[in-house]
Amino acid sequence: MAAEEAGGVGRSPACLCVLCGLPAAGKSTLARKVLRTAALHGWRATVVPYDDLIPEHAFQTRAEEHTEWKSHRQAVLQCIEQFFEKPQRLAELPVSCQINSAVWQQCIQALLQPEALDRSQAERAPLLFLLDDNFYYPSMRYEMYQLARKYSLGFCQVYLQCDLESCISRNQSRSEPIPTEVILEMVKRLESPNPQKNSWETNSISLNTTGDLSKCDIQRVMELISSALSNPLSPAEDNTKQKEADRLKCATNVVHQTDQACRRHISEAMKTARENQVAPKHMKSLAAQLNESKATFVHNLRRQLLQEASLAQEEDIDVERVVKRAVDVFDVEKKEILLRIMNENN
């Protein structure tokens, strides 16, 4: 009953559409065009603009480990969830919400009081959330997928592929450009949707936005959203044992790949030492220290992975990225040991 009072939220088909890509790739422009087209379709649609919802100071450090920035992102997710969980309280923000309340109210009003629809039409009209953010890691997008699955919503993704030079140029022409180094850093981090690796990203398309968006581009996006609205996700079953098995399998995979990579780094270090004519006794010490360091490192990595709840779903982790980060850490240790031994040799 509460859902009906809130404009039919509970009985209307709904979709979360993730717009991802580099800053200035054209996400906001695409969102505006989709909003206009959605109105012609008789849909209730709104844009969730992360840059406007999250306080500017939280963007000063966009590192993944930046807890304040992550907490603001979680607040946006929490507000969207409350929209579907407690429609009778749409005018309220969740407790301790850390986003711009005025901007969020605008998002909600666009859904509840669409200008082109009367009340009876609005109650039956599909709901569309266009999520406007960079979403550069799969884990960020996966949170939205989980939300869609929890509430049986449609889910889709549009990746805006734009060359770096165009993004930098567009950004510099803005009234409030972000630092160019932020864009350059994001190029390194950006992982576009990959349905081959992540089955949950199947409902995704890529648009080349280096040039202007065409009518065909907008049509492709609308067809993607229409398909998502017609095919809502099913809630996940409680399969705790399977999750535990997946966690163990994933951790084992990461540890195995990391161990193999570390072995290659050790071989490279030994080769470097031989080329620098390190004495046999020092070579023996180098091998022992490197192998001991690797064994300790791999053991600690496995223990850490098994303790982290983020590995409960195998799809919720990028194995290659975790392995690369782990190996980078070991590489620092390897170089320190090699340098120390070579200094002793001299």
Indicate yes or no: pTM above 0.75. no
Q: Which tokens sit at 63?
A: 């590192």
| pLDDT at site 267 | 93
Find, among 104, 153, 100, 161, the residue nearest to 128 by Cα. 153
Q: Which tokens sit at 133?
A: 């953010």
Q: Which tokens sit at 54?
A: 């999250």
pLDDT in tens, 241-264: 666 666 777 778 888 899 999 999
Question: How far, in Å, CA of 73 to CA of 50, rounded?
Answer: 8
**Residues above pLDDT 70, as percent of the chain:** 79
Question: Alpha helices of 1-61 — where are they, by DSSP H?
Answer: 2-5, 27-40, 50-53
Question: How far, in Å, CA of 63 to CA of 189, rounded?
Answer: 10
- More confident: 203 or 52: 203
In the structure, what pLDDT confidence band is assigned to residue 19 with cuts at 50, 70 and 90?
very high
In a 3-state reduction of DSSP, which class is residue 130? strand
Domains plus CATH for the chain?
12-230 (3.40.50.300), 240-345 (no CATH)
Within 10 angstroms of residue 62's Cβ, the number of other Cβ atoms is: 15
The answer to whether residue 7 scores a pLDDT higher than 70 is no
Which residue type sits at 223?
E
| pLDDT at site 316 | 55
Residues forming a β-bridge with 127: 14, 44
Are 98 and 72 a contacting pair, CB within 8 Å?
yes
Question: How far, in Å, CA of 305 to CA of 312, rounded?
Answer: 10
